[in-house]
Amino acid sequence: MQSTEMNETDVNQNVVVIGASHGGVNFGFSLRQQGWQGSITLVDSDPELPYHRPPLSKKTLQSEECLSTPLKAEKAYTDSKIDLRLGVTVDAIDRENKQLTLNGGESLPYDKLVIATGCSAFIPPIPGLLSQSKYFAMRTFADVQAIQAALNESNDKEVVIIGGGYIGLESASSFVSLGAKVTVIEKQEKILSRVTSSVMSEFLSDLHVSKGIALETGKDVVEIKQVGCKQLVVCGDGSEYSSDFILVGVGVRLNTQLAINAGLVVEEGIKVNGVCQTSDPDIFAIGDCTKHYSTVYDRWIRLESVQNAVDQAKGAAQFLAKGTSPAPVVPWFWSDQYEYKLQIVGLSQGYDELVVRKEDEGQFSVWYFLGERLLCVEAVNHTKSYVLGTQIIKKGLLVDKAAISDSSVALSKELIIKQ
């Protein structure tokens, strides 16, 4: 990886961004705010004015009008002299001539290129699934519109969700609020088994069951049958679940094919350095499609989060405009399910001990350690734990585990930090 400083002539060059979601839009505006005088073009295949993604499975799905929430007003792009080209697909990157081939054959030149293509929903090759008209993912505003239409057309409002990850669970809570009968089918024995502990998995399982969700774990979907106007979801153990439509939430595909075809280094994500440069110093990549080295966790990681996309966008913009590198950041995430807000800071993978701190009813936090080092905090309806955990992880402080687990000890830095 190369880190080349920008010189004064670079500010008069043109930057093209492929992808106008959180990463691409934040990059464009950050670059302009930091003094970039050259042209900025955002290209995206989605025809909708760029919008917030997290509300799709929550507020957007639940709203009667089903309106997207724009990241920026349309006028803001004009005012910032950002050329927004929507409904346009990039077919190829020509690194030698520094130009893109767009659908329809048009060429678009660049001096600096940013790839912010994110992920697409992975649709598993389940027999009978692709031949059904009523299966959906939860990735775009168009997906939500189609899901709402299917729900409104349904008399029984039976929904089967394949996959018990965060998207599936958030969608399940929204469907319940809309009066649907929901079944969640998860292949693993526990929901979220790859990303959290048994403590959090069991809490969320009990929560969803208490809200009327039929939670079926340890089951592999092997076939989808059409029975009249219903879809019958068949599992390997012979169990069957009726649905008016199916939501698929089993994972994602990285949108890295453009980078692969262009000869960039891609290893479970487009590999980037600390300022988001790829193996080509004139091409940057940000967001879910990237893999970067975390100095906080001393390993290569790939993150699917708005926070990471925005942080990388701002860091790459800072480097392009100023030639300086951004400070390391600690990953954070969140999930809203029913009346509960789960806030996560850090990465729990590799922990060897966890400490649970219970606050008032419906409030608790899980603290993940590797030896004496705090790796991650998951806080349910308790922002204070999340904020304090962020400070500790960012500064590499050591804490008193006994004080954390004792709810009679006030949760403050002065009381839990080891001197």
Task: Identify the pLDDT of residue 11.
Answer: 56
Looking at the structure, tell me whether residues 222 and 248 fall in a common domain.
yes
Residue partners of 406: CB distance under 8 A and separation at least 6: none
Decide if pLDDT at 111 tops 50. yes
Res. 235 pLDDT band, cuts 50 70 90: very high
Decide if pLDDT at 195 tops 70. yes
Rounded CA separation 215/205 (Å): 7
Instruction: Tell me if 229 is assigned to some domain.
Output: yes
Res. 275 pLDDT band, cuts 50 70 90: very high
Q: Looking at 211, 232, 252, which one is the last position of a domain?
A: 252
Instruction: Tell me if 333 is assigned to some domain.
Output: no
Instruction: Tell me if 268 is assigned to some domain.
Output: yes
Task: Identify the pLDDT of residue 5.
Answer: 46
Looking at the structure, tell me whether residues 178 and 221 fall in a common domain.
yes
Task: Identify the pLDDT of residue 419.
Answer: 57
Stretch 260-278: mean pLDDT, rounded? 98
Q: Looking at 252, 278, 305, which one is the last position of a domain?
A: 252
Looking at the structure, tell me whether residues 280 and 236 fall in a common domain.
no
Instruction: Tell me if 329 is assigned to some domain.
Output: no
CA-to-CA separations, 215 to 167, 183, 301, 388, in angstroms, rounded:
15, 6, 31, 33
Looking at the structure, tell me whether residues 247 and 236 fall in a common domain.
yes
Q: Are 97 and 103 in contact (CB under 8 A)?
A: no
Decide if pLDDT at 258 tops 90. yes
Res. 131 pLDDT band, cuts 50 70 90: confident
Looking at the structure, tell me whether residues 149 and 242 fall in a common domain.
yes
Instruction: Tell me if 101 is assigned to some domain.
Output: yes
Decide if pLDDT at 146 tops 80. yes
Q: Looking at 252, 285, 303, which one is the last position of a domain?
A: 252
Rounded CA separation 108/97 (Å): 10
Domain that holds residue 365: 339-416
Rounded CA separation 64/148 (Å): 9
Looking at the structure, tell me whether residues 179 and 206 fall in a common domain.
yes
Looking at the structure, tell me whether residues 203 and 273 fall in a common domain.
no
The set of long-range contacts for 177-183, using a CB threshold of 8 Å and a minimum separation of 24, is: 177/62, 178/61, 178/62, 178/151, 180/151, 181/156, 181/157, 181/212, 181/214, 182/212, 182/213, 182/214, 183/158, 183/159, 183/213, 183/214, 183/215, 183/216, 183/233, 183/241, 183/243
Rounded CA separation 80/89 (Å): 23
Instruction: Tell me if 327 is assigned to some domain.
Output: no
Instruction: Tell me if 219 is assigned to some domain.
Output: yes
This prediction's pTM: 0.94
Looking at the structure, tell me whether residues 248 and 259 fall in a common domain.
no
Instruction: Tell me if 130 is assigned to some domain.
Output: no
CA-to-CA separations, 165 to 18, 236, 250, in angstroms, rounded:
28, 20, 7
Tell me how many domains the chain contains.
3
- Point out the least confidently predicted range of 126-130, 179-183, 239-243, 407-411: 407-411
Looking at the structure, tell me whether residues 238 and 193 fall in a common domain.
yes
CATH number of the CATH domain containing 22: 3.50.50.60
Res. 346 pLDDT band, cuts 50 70 90: very high
Decide if pLDDT at 326 tops 60. yes
Looking at the structure, tell me whether residues 141 and 248 fall in a common domain.
yes
Q: Which residue has the tokens 């050591």?
A: 398
Rounded CA separation 343/390 (Å): 11
Decide if pLDDT at 3 tops 80. no
Looking at the structure, tell me whether residues 60 and 37 fall in a common domain.
yes
Task: Identify the pLDDT of residue 64.
Answer: 86
CA-to-CA separations, 2 to 124, 256, 281, in angstroms, rounded:
38, 20, 6
Tens of pLDDT along 295-320? 999 999 999 999 999 999 999 999 99
Q: Are 272 and 290 in contact (CB under 8 A)?
A: yes
Looking at the structure, tell me whether residues 292 and 370 fall in a common domain.
no
CATH number of the CATH domain containing 363: 3.30.390.30
Tens of pLDDT along 40-98? 999 999 999 999 999 999 999 999 888 899 999 999 999 999 999 999 999 999 999 99
Mean confidence (pLDDT) of the chain: 94
